[in-house]
Structure 1
Amino acid sequence: MTTSATLSIRRFDASDIDAVVALWQQAFPEYRDATRPQRNPHLSIANKLATQPELFFVAVLGERIVGTVMGGYDGHRGWMYSLAVDESLRRHGIGTRLVAHVEQVLTGLGCPKLNLQILSAKDELRAFYEALGYRTDAVISLGKRLGELADSVPAA
């Protein structure tokens, strides 16, 4: 990471769409798979902008978006989604800062517990979150696609 640029975290703005989509397609290969319409980054952004858009954050280095995180809070527990960091800048603390940011905002809303899900095959991600104090809960995550996607794709 260059020392001349300062990292900042701010709320997502509509002008960030193209940069965020490009970052997500780099960070999440499944977002490039047209056979998985539930992984459409444009749909994910539109849905987040319709529901708690104030919990959608980007990390900016200089003028470049280099990370994202989304939070959600339903009054019972919080969720963290779409943590992504530009692959050329990983292991420089950007992901850690994004997690801390969303934790701080959700704590300020009174959120007592934050949940997240990762694919079971992503051991490196699990190690990252465990280093930040996250632990595996003894739960089974179930999913069901609704609406247009109900019968078109598996739940994964």
Structure 2
Amino acid sequence: MNIRIFDERDTDAVLALWSEAFPEYAAPGKPQRDPRLSIRNKMAMQPELFFVGVLGERVIGTVLTGYDGHRGWLYSLAVAADQRGNGYGRALVEHAERALASIGCPKLNLQIMANKPETRAFYAKLGYHMDEVVSLGKRLPA
């Protein structure tokens, strides 16, 4: 798998991958989970930290990262269902970690949905653990 920065020509492939990996994007009561808006927003902020994994000509993985000068964040790690178990998720996370470390990021945070124990187990194998914090959120008006 080759990992490179997202190109807008990857949009349809990424949308297809995300619809498979994140079925919650289709939840009608969650308009904030608009993957097209997520791509547009990422392209406006640190687009160099949006990575795709490509096998041949096929986009099989994604990872978005961000850095605010204090903490880094990892978002939208996805690997095509038929390619899981081959180390591609690990490779994408490690690529994201190196990219953030290279710009001085001291710590990487991520959030996962509580109802995904397999996702938590995946990250635990990569050295991530639960911080003793409570995550709060508030939706801002559009």
**2:51 equivalent to 1:37:** no
Please name the residue that 2:92 is paired with: 98
TM-score scaled by length of structure 1: 0.89
Deviations 1:16-71 (A, max 9, x none): 00000010000000112233111110000001001100000000000000000000
Q: Does 2:58 match 1:64? A: yes
Q: Unpaired segments of 5 or more residues in structure 1?
A: 1-6, 149-156
Describe how 1:89-128 pairs up with structure 2 within 5 A: 89-128=83-122
Give me the identity figure in percent.
62
Deviating 4+ runs (over 2 angstroms): none
Cα RMSD between the aligned structures?
Answer: 0.7
Aligned partner of 1:140 among 120, 126, 134: 134
Distance in 1, matches of 2:95 and 2:26, equals 28
The size of the alignment, in residue pairs, is 142
**In the alignment, does 2:77 pair up with 1:83?**
yes
Gaps in structure 2 of 5+ consecutive residues: none
Report Cα offsets for 1:68-105 as digits up to 9, x if no partner: 00000011110000000001110110000000000000
**In structure 1, how many angstroms separate the alpha carbons of the residues matched to 2:141 and 2:7?**
28
Cα distance, 1:147 vs structure 2: 1.7
Work out the CA distance in 2 between the residues paired with 1:35 and 1:17: 24
> 2:2 is paired with a residue of what secondary structure?
strand
- CA separation in 1, counterparts of 2:45 and 2:63? 14
Task: Specify the SS of the correspondent of 1:128.
Answer: helix
Please give the TM-score of this superposition, normalised by the length of structure 2. 0.98
